[in-house]
Each structure stands twice: as structure tokens, then as C-alpha cells.
Amino acid sequence: MKIRTLALLLAALAASALLVAGCGDSDSSSSSSKKQTKAEKAAQKDADDKQKQVDAAEKAYKKAKDDVNACRNLGLAWIAKASPASSTDPKKPAELPKDRDKSLDEAIDVLQDCVKINAKDRGVQQMLASTYLSTSQYDKASPLLEQLAKSAPAAEKANAYYAWGLAESNAQEYGTAITAWNGFLASAPKNDPRIDQVKQSIKSLKAAAAQAKTAAAKAASTTKDEDAKDDDSDAKGGDDK
């Protein structure tokens, strides 16, 4: 789910161009309004509709501050607003809206409130964790996903461990990522198409962890040698005196 409202941007650019050029006559104005394409009009309508959904959900939530469903609906509305409209050109991918980051930040604020209303609502926790992932806040997503994975019912365990593994891998937390991926392998059905990819990820993570350990050992050894040289130099300096 991701949108871009090009019409507002084009309108703003057209208006600023008129002001700079000093061309405010009606002919120029009418010709600039005709420049909006069918795709841009569709994108504008999509953006307007999504803003209306946000406004309606916000109004409903203000009337029921303790209702986790009303809270969730507002979070979903903000996530939808951060999503692109369907592309009218199959050769071009849908573009993200300029206000995507702001909308996702709003969604996170709302979903954090939802968790406070009902900390046991797994759906809300999953939405919040997914939104953290969308904004690359892996350090915030990981604890939520770990909790969800370890408490997931059998039917949901594979997906829950997979999501946790993705977060830890992106955060380059090698040990916990391997733990999460192993949890996925232990709970996934044998025909799950993600198994080979996860096994490869575990292999890569183990290699990366070994390299990091070797690099850390070398750095520690270098520091120790330098400290020893400094101590020796200080000792010789003291003897000269």
C-alpha cells in the first residue's frame, strides 16, 4: 500500500511560476489548468479520498478514546494515506506520496496509543511492528516481533518467526537473527517456499558473525600492542631522565 499526490505539487508549481513571471492573465491560468493529465486527476482523487478516510477515522476515535478498534481504524487510515495510488501506466511503478513519512509517523503515534489501550491485541502489535519496519526502525520492531513470535499460536509461528528474522537481519544483529530464522525453520511446513532462502540467510549470517569476531579480535590486539608500545616508550623516557 503506497500513493503520490502529483496534482497538488503541479498546481503549486504552476502557481509559483505565474507569480515569478508576472503572468496572471486568464488565458495563462486556463492553459495551465488544462495541463493536468488523467493520471494526475486520478492520483488527486485518490489522495482526497484517503484524507477523508483519515478525517472520518480521527473523528470517530476522538469520540471513543478507549476503543481499540476505533484506534486501529485510524492507524490503518494513516497507513493507507502513506500508500501509492494504483499506477495508470503498467510500464511505470506507482510513486510514493511526498507526505509518506509524515503519514507513517502519524500511524506509529496512533498505533502506540492502541497498544496502550490493549497491550494483548496481537493485530495492533503486528501493525505497529510492520510500520516500524517500513520506516527502518528495526531496533523498535525487533522486541515486538520477538514477543509475537514466542507467543504465537502454532498456525502463526512460521510467519511470526520469519518477520522477526527479517528485522534482526536488517539490524545486523547476527545472533538473534540466527535464533529467529531457526525458529522459522522449526515451525514452517516442509513445503514452505521460504525455507531455502532462510537456510542461505543463516549461512551468510554465520559467516558475517565470524568475520565480525575476527575483526574485533584484530582491533583489540592492535590496541593492546599500541598500549604496550606507549608504556615502553614512557618507561624509556623515565629512564633517560
Note down pLDDT in tens along the chain; length 241 residues: 333 333 333 333 333 332 333 343 444 444 445 577 877 788 888 999 999 999 999 999 999 999 999 999 999 999 999 998 877 677 777 788 889 999 999 999 999 999 999 999 999 999 999 999 999 999 999 999 999 999 999 999 999 999 999 999 999 999 999 999 999 999 999 999 999 999 999 999 999 999 988 888 888 877 766 666 666 666 666 555 5
With a CB cutoff of 8 Å and minimum separation 6, the contacts of 123 are 72
What is the Cα–Cα distance from 3 to 50, expressed in whole angstroms?
10
HSE-CB at 222 with a 13 A cutoff on CA atoms is 6
What is the Cα–Cα distance from 100 to 3, expressed in whole angstroms?
8
pTM exceeds cut of 0.75? no
> What is the CB neighbour count within 10 angstroms for residue 130?
17
What is the Cα–Cα distance from 91 to 177, expressed in whole angstroms?
37
